[in-house]
Amino acid sequence: MKHVIDIKDLSVEEIDSLIKVAKDIINHKEKYSHKCDGKKLATLFFEPSTRTRLSFESAMMELGGNVIGFSEASSSSVSKGETVADTIRVVGCYSDIIAMRHPKEGAPYVASMKSEVPIINAGDGGHNHPTQTLTDLLTIECEKGRLDNLTIGLCGDLKFGRTVHSLITAMSRYKNIKFVLISPDELKLPEYIKKDILEKNNIEYVETKSMDEYMKDLDILYMTRVQRERFFNEEDYVRLKDYYILNKAKLENAKKDLCILHPLPRVNEISTDVDDDPRACYFKQVRYGKYIRMALILKLLEVK
């Protein structure tokens, strides 16, 4: 039995295989509509995240399976003081697979130590969110036709942005990837990621505060939201939240086939005038998220 807690739990070959299955699902939806008949997915969301939860639930339903679960801790036994380990052991008796989101980092790892069914980490605080990364990889593969030879701009909160950290980790395993790290000083990529991943793998990267400086070189522009919940100090959040706003004018020098991604929800960091630009891929990205989650559920349930 396999759990997916961190994107590193999946080898490049496994990721390639998931992408292949997801692409097949996109092209032959009917073939997969009964693959999970009689199976149950439990979505345990100890903190609310409507988007991710609906993506998992919709993925399971499109595979013919059923869904149980809760959408916030207050409606579960956690509010009575139950531990993660106990919740997981109980829910494992009712379900075949569990997707879990928790505000505390490492909670899904604790769950995986005790669970008798596969656990998928659906986000743990500012730590990991592997299915978002798989979503990003499928989007890049489908929109660019490759996962190598890319210059990727990451813009906004690179300090607390877990999607950015995971994407860097995942993309570092492909050939000829360059990163442009665009952030204010306060939200720069943590040193350990630069050292342990980028420098260790000889990945080329530049850091800049300017969104315009390298725009013309980018194949991918990954925008992120500055998240209020990651700050202990409201003043810092207010000062940094609108540091970057991508609008039509900013895209003037960008490549014609640039792919603009965002894990969503966005606030102000992408102006709505960009939405109709063919380079805006962030809503397509949501759809890809459902397909890659379908592929992951099939893999973890060992459904052929």
Partner 1 sequence: MNIDSITNGYVIDHIKAGNAMKIYELLNLNKLDCQVAIITNAKSQKTGTKDIIKIDKDIDIDFETLGFLDHNITVNIVKDSKIIEKRKLDLPETIINVAKCNNPRCITSIEKYLDQIFVLTDKENEVYRCKYCEMSLKNKE
Smaller CB distance to partner 1: residue 108 or 153? 108
- Window of 87-95, 104-112, 253-261, 266-274 that interacts with partner 1 by CB under 8 A: 104-112
Q: What is the dihedral sign for C-alpha 292, 163, 194, 218?
A: positive
- CA 36 to CA 20: how far, in whole Å? 19
Q: Please select the residue that binds partner 1; options are 1, 37, 74, 105, rule is CB under 8 A.
A: 105
Q: Please select the residue that binds partner 1; options are 196, 199, 212, 275, rule is CB under 8 A.
A: 196
> Is position 174 an interface residue for partner 1 (rule: CB under 8 A)?
no
Cβ atoms of 106 and 251 closer than 8 Å: no
What's the closest the beta carbon of residue 245 comes to partner 1, in angstroms? 28
Smaller CB distance to partner 1: residue 196 or 204? 196
Q: Please select the residue that binds partner 1; options are 3, 40, 102, 129, rule is CB under 8 A.
A: 102
What's the closest the beta carbon of residue 160 comes to partner 1, in angstroms? 10
Cβ atoms of 72 and 47 closer than 8 Å: yes
Smaller CB distance to partner 1: residue 102 or 293? 102
Q: Rule CB under 8 A: which of 68-97 touch partner 1?
A: 83-85
Tell me how crowded residue 199 is: count the other CB atoms within 10 A of its CB. 12
- CA 180 to CA 220: how far, in whole Å? 10
> Is position 110 an interface residue for partner 1 (rule: CB under 8 A)?
yes
What's the closest the beta carbon of residue 293 comes to partner 1, in angstroms? 24
- Dihedral of the alpha carbons of 292, 298, 299, 301, in degrees to the nearest 10: 140
What's the closest the beta carbon of residue 83 comes to partner 1, in angstroms? 6
Rounded to whole angstroms, what are the CA distances from 273 to 84, 157, 267, 279? 43, 22, 13, 12
φ and ψ at 169, to 5 degrees? Answer: -60, -45
What's the closest the beta carbon of residue 135 comes to partner 1, in angstroms? 22
- Window of 23-31, 121-129, 201-209, 277-285 that interacts with partner 1 by CB under 8 A: 121-129
Tell me how crowded residue 53 is: count the other CB atoms within 10 A of its CB. 21
Strands 220-223 and 259-261: parallel
Binding site for partner 1 (CB under 8 A): 83-85, 102-107, 109-110, 124-127, 192, 196
